[in-house]
Amino acid sequence: MIMKCNAKINLTLDMVGLRQDGYHLLRSVMHPIPLCDELTIEKADEISLKCNIKRIPVDGRNLVCKAAQLFFDKTGIKGGMKAYLNKKTPSGAGLGGGSADAASTLRALNEIYEYGAENDLLKAWAVKLGADVPFFIDNEPALAEGIGEILSPCKALPSCKLLLIKPNFSINTKRAYEILGDYKEPQRSDLLLSALEKGSWEEIAEAVGNGIQKCIAKEYPEIDNICDTMKNHGAYTSCMTGSGSAVFGLFPTDSDLMALKDKYNNYFVFEGNI
């Protein structure tokens, strides 16, 4: 079975508090994008994984292997998987690539072994792998709350062109939230949900924003530089996704993005339609 593991962008990221265990409570409108890893999975006697990128671990540290082990632990099925991961989504970018791979593993094994778990049950398992993983089970636009595991479907973006740029540095999520501390910005998610319902690009552009970008960009100013450049080249809106370092811009569908792609040809660049 071949699974397309879509990455995501955070159209908003509002910090609303801290749990006693130190996890940040958030509200975030998350949206899948056409950038995908490709995961090939088949039945086997043991869990094994290979990957096109040599530096990515293929043992129990990888979320694909963790997800497979979780599936067999939860179902009691005596089995395994043979998997190959064609990795296209960059790591340390705030795009949820590893989480998407884990969710796809759960979905694939559920189908291959004909276990029949509903998505709600898969999402309850998925949160044990990471806060973003449940989002990728449904893989549809949603408002994420709590630590990201409480999901409510929402309206998708109107048709547009996506440009994604990841600078030549990554940001560790734990480090990003250390930089953030208890800093909070005004919340944007409710404004964006309303704007999406109306389909108004003017209101969507006003509402899109990342509540931790200001803090992160103090240490990594290139993030703000890319956002400003995208807006100066006709983007409706642009901001950092997740804890970075990738930046997305949403453009009119007839925009010519060649100048931007050429300017950042030494960075990871992805262009697609939403």
Which are the catalytic amino acids? 8, 132
Which residues is 6 bridged to in the sheet? 36
Q: Are strands 12-18 and 209-210 parallel, antiparallel or unpaired?
A: parallel
Helix (H, G, I), strand (E, B) or coil at 94: coil
SS (H, E, C) 151-215: EEECCCCCCCEEEEEECCCCCCHHHHHHHHCCCCCCCCHHHHHHHHHHCCHHHHHHHCEECCHHH
Cis peptide before 48 (omega within 30 of 0): no
Which residues is 251 bridged to in the sheet? 161
| Tokens, residue 124 | 């309850």
DSSP annotation of 256: -
Rounded to 10°, the helix 97-112/119-126 angle is 130
Instruction: Tell me how far apart the 2 most distant CA atoms of the chain are, in Å.
Output: 56
Which residues is 17 bridged to in the sheet? 25
CB-CB contact of 129 with 63 (8 Å): yes
SS (H, E, C) 59-77: CCCCHHHHHHHHHHHHHCC
